[in-house]
Amino acid sequence: MNRSAVVLLSGGLDSATALAIARSQGFETCAISYDYGQRHRVELSLAAQQCSIQGVAKHITVDVDMRKIGGSALTADIEVPKDRDEAAMSHDIPITYVPARNTVFLSYALAWAEVLGANDIFIGVNALDYSGYPDCRPEYISAFQTMARLATKVGVEGAELTIHTPLIDLTKAQIISAGLDLGVQYEFTSSCYDPSPEGRPCRHCDSCLLREKGFASLGMTDPLVARFDG
């Protein structure tokens, strides 16, 4: 049995936690990161740092050419929304949505899994906090897995490729709590959509607000904020 798993690693809080969970389940982890022209490129250096801290076996960063496709505040010259209330966050598909992003990312992960002979892929999607993203829903992940089993040599040969989504039903506080139990160093993760070049979070975008609320509900200060302010 091949116990390698491919883990999608953005350098954010969720994917750093998904990585720790994959390791805790006994997988040798191979991390894949994506350079897609995101404003928040500081996360890529934090992804590399997480690989080093967490003892990842292999790490690749793939260039994903989303700029020619356009259509998102995360890659195009559209303003990142700030200080939105939770009703707006949970009911709209946000302008920070990158078209088909998880589909593109999972496709590369699938290709690499096939080359590595890995039957397991971990992705830190979360359906509760980000209900606005269509490609974070359980039914989407399930459909991707069905497609993936048919797409590859692995599928032809009958192996059972599995897309693991250990965070899908967790609140942000539960994710943080699980990660802390596994020793995740959240001061070396970045969630902000619009950070300073050094990685200081803006503390006003949707992602910062959700993260800060998660730590607050555990009675904690975000160690990333503390790293910059302390």
**Any contact of residue 228 with a second copy (CB under 8 A)?**
no
Burial of 30 (0-12, 13-18, 19+ CB in 10 A): buried
d(CA 73, CA 42): 17
Binding residue for a second copy, selected from 1, 26, 68, 158, defined by CB under 8 A: 68
Q: CB 114 → a second copy: shortest distance, Å?
A: 4
Tokens of 84: 């939105």
Count of all residues that appear for the chain in the document: 230
Which one of 60, 78, 88, 216 is in contact with a second copy (CB under 8 A)?
A: 60
Closest by CA to 21, choosing from 128, 212, 181, 187, is 181
Smallest distance, a second copy to C-beta of residue 116, A: 9
- The answer to the question of residue 206 lying near a second copy (CB under 8 A) is no
Residue 151 C-beta-side C-alpha neighbours within 13 Å: 16
* Closest separation in Å from C-beta 29 to a second copy: 17
Q: Rank residues 140 and 228 by Cβ distance to a second copy and give the closer one.
A: 140
**Can you name the residues that pair with 69 across neighbouring β-strands?**
none
Q: Which residues bind a second copy (CB under 8 A)?
A: 60-66, 68-71, 93, 97-104, 106-108, 110-112, 114-115, 134-135, 137, 139-140, 143-144, 146-148, 150-153, 155-156
